[in-house]
Amino acid sequence: MNFDYNEEQQLLADSVRRYLAKSYDFEARRKIVAAEGWSTDAWKQFAEIGLTGLPLGTDHGGFGGGAVDLIGVMEAFGEALVVEPYVPLVLAARALERGAKSSPLLSSVVEGRARLAFAHTEKGARYALDAVQTRAKESRLSGEKSAVIGAPIAEHFVVSARGEDGIGLYLVDRAATEVKPQRTLDERLAGDVVLREAPAHKLSGGAALLEETVDFATALLCAEAVGALQFACDTTLEYLKTRKQFGVPIGTFQALQHRIVDMYISLEQARSMACLAASRADSAGDARERARAISAAKIRVADAARHVSQEAVQLHGGMGMSEELKISHTFRRLTVLAREYGDVDHHLARYAAL
C-alpha cells in the first residue's frame, strides 16, 4: 500500500502545472472562453507534454498510462478549469484502441493531430447506460446524441448505438454528421450530434466496453473535481484571511472557521475516493469491483462538490456571486462535474444494486 506518485507521474503533473501557471491563468482562460471556446495553442502544448499519447499503448507511440497516471493531470486541469475537451479525447481514443486495435487514427491522436469525442448521452436517457436509442443498421447510425462535450471541434466520434446484437460503440466521421454547437453550464464546448444513416465502423467490445469507458470517465472526473475542490477551499481560506468586516478578518469568526474546516474535510474524503476510483479503474479484479468502487467515489465526490462549492460561494458573500471571481466559475464546473456520467442518486442506486 502506498499513495506516492512515481517519478514519471510526478514529472508529468509538474509540467502540466507549470504550463497552466504560465499560460492558462484565469485571465487567459477568460479570453479563450470569450473567443472560440478552446485554444489550439493549449492543445498543442498538451500534445507536446505528452498528454495525448498518455492513455494509448506503445504500439501507437503512446505511453500506455492508466487512470492513476492521469490523476495529477486531471487535478491540475480541475484547478485551472481547463476547457479544452481532453477527457472526451481520452475516452474515445481508449475505446478505439480497445475496439479497433489497428486503427490508423490512434497514432494521429498520440501526435495531437486527430481530435476525437465520445458521443454517448441522449435526451431522456438521463444516466442509464442502456437507454441508448440511436440505431445501428448495416453499419449506418441514425439518432441524436446530445450535449456531446467537444463536439464542435471533433473530427471523429466514438458513438454508442443499439444494433441487432445489442449496444456497442462505433466510429463515425464528423463529416457524416450534423453538429449543433452549444456551451455547457460551465462554459465548455459541446454539441448535439445528429446522425442520419451515417456510415460507421463497429468497434468490438459491446456494452461492456461502453460501461468500462464510462467508469474510466468517472474516475477521471473525480480527480478533476478534487483539483477544483482544492482550489475552492484554498481560495476561500485566503478570502477569510483578507476580507475584513467589523474591523477584523472574517476568518476570526468561529461560525466560519468551522465551516471551512468541514470543507477541507470533504475535500480530503473526496480525494481518498478519487484515489480509490483511479486505482480500481486500472486494476480491479472484475467489472463489479470496479463499478462499485467508482460509483462509491462518485457519490462522495459529488457530495463534496455540492457542499464545498455552495459553502465557498456563501463564504465569499456577494463576491462569490460575481462573474469576475474565479470561484464562481469553479462553482459552475463543480456543479456540472457532480452530474456528469451520473449524479449522486444514479450512483447510489447503482452502488446498492451491485
Window contacting another protein (CB under 8 A); options: 103-111, 143-151, 216-224, 247-255? 247-255
Which cell numbers hold the place of 164? 441487432
| Closer residue to another protein, CB minimum distance, 140 or 259 | 259
Cα dihedral 337, 341, 307, 317 in deg (nearest 10): 30
Sign of the CA dihedral 259, 300, 302, 6?
Answer: positive
| Closer residue to another protein, CB minimum distance, 47 or 349 | 349
- As measured in angstroms, the least distance from the Cβ of 93 to another protein is 23
Write the Ramachandran bin of 310: left for phi over 0, alpha for psi from -120 to 50, otherwise beta.
alpha
Residues constituting the chain: 354
The answer to whether 45 and 20 are in contact (CB under 8 A) is no
| Closer residue to another protein, CB minimum distance, 167 or 240 | 240
- As measured in angstroms, the least distance from the Cβ of 293 to another protein is 8
Window contacting another protein (CB under 8 A); options: 15-23, 47-55, 297-305, 312-320? 297-305
Q: Which residue has the cell 502540466?
A: 16
The answer to whether 334 and 259 are in contact (CB under 8 A) is no
- As measured in angstroms, the least distance from the Cβ of 7 to another protein is 13
The answer to whether 292 and 354 are in contact (CB under 8 A) is yes
Q: Tell whether residue 235 is a contact of another protein (CB under 8 A).
A: no
Phi, psi angle pair for 13, to nearest 5° = -60, -40
- Per-position x/- string for 253-292, each x denoting binding to another protein as judged by CB under 8 A, each - no binding: -x--xx-xxx-xx--xxxxxx-xx-xxx--x---------
The answer to whether 190 and 147 are in contact (CB under 8 A) is yes
Binding residues for another protein restricted to 2-41, rule: CB under 8 A: 2-6, 9
Q: Tell whether residue 246 is a contact of another protein (CB under 8 A).
A: no
Helix (H, G, I), strand (E, B) or coil at 173: strand
Q: Tell whether residue 220 is a contact of another protein (CB under 8 A).
A: no
- As measured in angstroms, the least distance from the Cβ of 167 to another protein is 26
Q: Tell whether residue 56 is a contact of another protein (CB under 8 A).
A: no
- Long-range contacts of range 14-22, CB-CB < 8 Å, 24 or more positions apart? 15/49, 16/49, 16/51, 16/72, 16/73, 16/76, 16/77, 17/76, 19/45, 19/49, 20/76, 20/77, 20/79, 20/80, 20/82
Binding-site size for another protein (CB under 8 A) equals 42
Q: Which of 156, 46, 8 is nearest to 96 (CA)?
A: 156
| Closer residue to another protein, CB minimum distance, 123 or 241 | 241
| Closer residue to another protein, CB minimum distance, 117 or 223 | 223
Window contacting another protein (CB under 8 A); options: 213-221, 248-256, 315-323, 327-335? 248-256
The answer to whether 223 and 70 are in contact (CB under 8 A) is yes
| Closer residue to another protein, CB minimum distance, 141 or 301 | 301
Radius of gyration of the chain (CA): 20
| Closer residue to another protein, CB minimum distance, 211 or 282 | 282
Distance CA 199, CA 142 (A): 9
Q: Tell whether residue 315 is a contact of another protein (CB under 8 A).
A: no
Q: Tell whether residue 228 is a contact of another protein (CB under 8 A).
A: no
| Closer residue to another protein, CB minimum distance, 139 or 245 | 245
Q: Which of 49, 71, 82, 198 binds another protein (CB under 8 A)?
A: 71
| Residues of the shown chain interacting with another protein in the complex, contacts defined by CB under 8 A | 1-6, 9, 68, 71, 237, 240-241, 251-252, 254, 257-258, 260-262, 264-265, 268-273, 275-276, 278-280, 283, 296, 299-300, 303, 348-349, 351-352
